[in-house]
Structure 1
Amino acid sequence: MLELHCHTTFSDGTLTPTELVDAAVNAGVKALAITDHDTVSGWDEALNAAPAALEIVPGLELSTVYNERSLHILGFYPDRERLILPLAERLEGRKRRAQTIVKKLADLGYPLELSEMGEGMAAGRPHIASLMVKAGYVESAREAFDRFLADDKPAFVQYEKFGTADGIELLRSCGAVSVWAHPYLFRGGVVETMLPELVEAGLMGIEVYHPSHTLYQVDKLKNLCAKYNLLMTGGSDYHGPSRETKRDEYCGLNRLQVPLELLEPIKMAAVRSSEALHSKSQATIPSGVLS
């Protein structure tokens, strides 16, 4: 009944925040995190659309780079005001990346016109894949990734340099709970070898439950959480129905049946992070200012 990894049309999802809320309610979800890529723009619509029976967890999925590979960090309950400027910079970087991908495709003989998206939004590879389908260059988004857009394919462009440790520090500076998203999808290192370094950087949790993780991997991640005293999270990484087939081709909402009791420790950690952040801010104020 817990969904801590979902996307909307504010990043690469196919449902608006309102549509996602409706779908979550229909699927029996009790707590839903909005975790769009590098933006928090979908929060307000989701909060306004959610009925009392559905708790909205504010979050985001931060794009970072580790060993020249994309590594995503989920952040829950961040201070939005502290994120505005850093996310604006990340958004501009995503826009530049999308333009570079489109230029590469044009050089390969597949010109596309990248339309301007709404405020707080930037085109990602799924949007570009969809444009390629509409242009008739490929038959499906999967083909677009397999031939052109996936890592090491001819039109792939890495995120602008933003290290994982920097991303974790950014989330910590905003009072957020930082969680390594789908670790066994990462192809730039060994999870067990990397984890101590990320914990040292301030990582607070691991996304244990994810559609890509096998039962064996889930057990390994649970053991790692116990070893390093990390929080456990989980979610379907829901992006909505496929733009081409209109079906949920990856994993439907609530299909993993992530236990709701995982949320309370995350909330408690967020409260502690917020209090620590507030205390640090107060400590930097010169003596006498508060008197």
Structure 2
Amino acid sequence: MNNIYVDFHTHTVCSDGNYTPEEVIEMAINKGINSLAITDHNYIHENISRLQNKYKDIELINGCEISTSYTTDKGKKIEVHIIALDFDENNENFKNLIVSNHPDKKAYVENIREKLKDNCNIVIPSYDELKILYPTKHIGRMQIADYLVKNNYADDLDEVFDEYIGNYGKRKAFVNALDYCSYADFDLVIRSVIDAGGVPVLAHLFSYGIELSECYSLLRRFCHVCDGKGGLEVYYLKYSDEMIDTLKELAIRYNMFISTASDFHGRGNDALNNKIHEIEKQHVYHIIKTPKKLK
């Protein structure tokens, strides 16, 4: 069976990426990618059809990365991301959900700022000042990390997250976003994606700072709510081959659609589908064509 190249998790300047949608699409074409989804955070691109007419050498899929509020079995609130693919961008309920899923992050950012100052003797601009520095971006960890790199507090983004604000590592200034802002309910988002004719995909399962047993519990909950209509990011660029093999086994076990993701933002060593993950065409068709369309 022929293999095709896909990337279903990328970002642009419409959220926290560094390149325009047109630039990302052109990069993907140059990489030989056949199917692409631009999945900006809590943002619906309404011009995908226009871009598809402009770029004939690639298939563009409606995409969005949605932040959700999820409570683990141990009662811990965490932010979990759902990738919505191939949905009807004109579905009013879905559009309203995305529009309302932008909580005020000022208290969250200011708390990180305080911890950086108190724990690390690092002073960064206030939330309002960061908004001036990053006028077209959502203000959050990515902008803080970018500021720290540009001002020589770290060599790259990975070092910032490992040392200061990431879910893993030393966590010297880590702050749980859900302590200061609330996103849409996990179950509600999954059902809303399906109701809009789309495919919900559970993003980067091993990146939520929870125990492995909690990751599996999260996956089971996702599958229960999806009822056979969901997918899993298996070929995730930032994961080891061993982690990818585990995710592939889980996807097969739970009869989930397989997705591939670079999580491209356009920073540092960031790359679009850099490893060029090969996916069997039948798996790709499962992810870009909703169950309704397959029948």
The TM-score bracket by the shorter chain reads: 0.7 to 0.9
- Deviation per CA, 1:78-107, whole angstroms, max 9, x where unpaired? 22233322112212x1xx225531454157
Query: What one-letter code is carried by the residue in structure 2 that aligns with 1:31?
Result: S
Corresponding residue for residue 140 of structure 2? 124
Distance in 1 between residues matched to 2:246 and 2:157, nearest whole Å: 32
Q: Distance in 1 between matches of 2:46 and 2:107?
A: 23
Give the match for residue 256 of structure 1: 276
Residue 260 of structure 2 is matched in structure 1 by: 234
Give secondary structure in 2 for the equivalent of 1:62.
Answer: strand
Contact 1:138 1:144 in 2 (8 A): yes
In the alignment, which residue of structure 2 is the partner of 1:201?
225
Whether 1:85 aligns to 2:85 is no
The number of aligned residues is 264
Residue 111 of structure 2 corresponds to residue 100 of structure 1: no
- Work out the CA distance in 1 between the residues paired with 2:60 and 2:150: 34
**Closer/same/farther in 2, CA of residues 124 and 270 from structure 1, 3 Å limit:** farther
Residue type at the aligned position of 2:99: A
Give the CA deviation at 1:198. 1.6
Please give the root-mean-square deviation of Cα atoms over the aligned residues, in Å. 3.0
* Aligned residue type for 2:24: L
Q: Which residue of structure 1 lines up, in the alignment, with residue 187 of structure 2?
A: 165
Return the offset for 1:48: 5.7
Amino acid at match of 2:173: P
Which secondary structure state, in structure 1, belongs to the residue aligned with residue 239 of structure 2? coil
Kept in 1: contact 2:81–2:202 (CA 8 A): yes
Q: Which residue number corresponds to residue 186 of structure 1?
A: 208
C-alpha contact 2:78 2:176 (8 A) present in aligned 1: no
Distance 1:101 1:260 in 2: 42
C-alpha contact (below 8 Å) 1:40/1:59 kept by paired residues:
yes
Going from structure 1 to structure 2, the CA distance change for 1:227 and 1:23 (only over 3 Å counts) comes to: same
In 2 relative to 1, CA 144–222 (structure 1 residues): closer, same or farther, beyond 3 Å? closer
Cross-structure match for 1:156: 175
Indicate the percent of aligned positions where both proteins have the same amino acid.
24
Aligned equivalents of 2:63, 2:291: Cα separation in 1? 11
Whichever residue aligns with residue 12 of structure 1, its letter is D
More displaced stretch, 80-89 vs 176-185: 80-89
CA distance in 2, matches of 1:155, 1:42: 35
Out of 101-110 and 202-211, give the one that drifted further.
Answer: 101-110
| TM-score of the pair, normalised by structure 2 | 0.77
Deviation at 1:118, TM superposition (A): 6.3
**Structure 1 unmatched ranges of 5 or more:** 243-248, 276-291
Distance 1:60 1:98, change over 3 A: farther
Instruction: Show the 5 A alignment for 1:1-291.
Output: 1-41=5-45, 43-44=47-48, 47=51, 50-66=54-70, 67=72, 68-81=77-90, 82=92, 83-91=94-102, 93=103, 96-98=104-106, 100-102=108-110, 104-105=112-113, 108=117, 110-112=123-125, 113-115=129-131, 122-135=138-151, 137-151=153-167, 152-154=171-173, 156-159=175-178, 160-162=181-183, 163-189=185-211, 190=213, 191-202=215-226, 204-242=230-268, 249-259=269-279, 261=281, 262-269=283-290, 271-272=292-293
Partner amino acid for 2:55?
P
- CA deviation string 1:90-131 (max 9, x = no partner): 12x1xx225531454157262411225667x52231122222
Unaligned runs of 5+ in 2: none
Which residue number corresponds to residue 246 of structure 1? none
Whole-angstrom distance in 2 between the partners of 1:138 and 1:178? 35
Alpha-carbon distance between aligned partners in 1 of 2:273 and 2:53, rounded to the nearest angstrom: 17
Shift of 1:138: 4.5
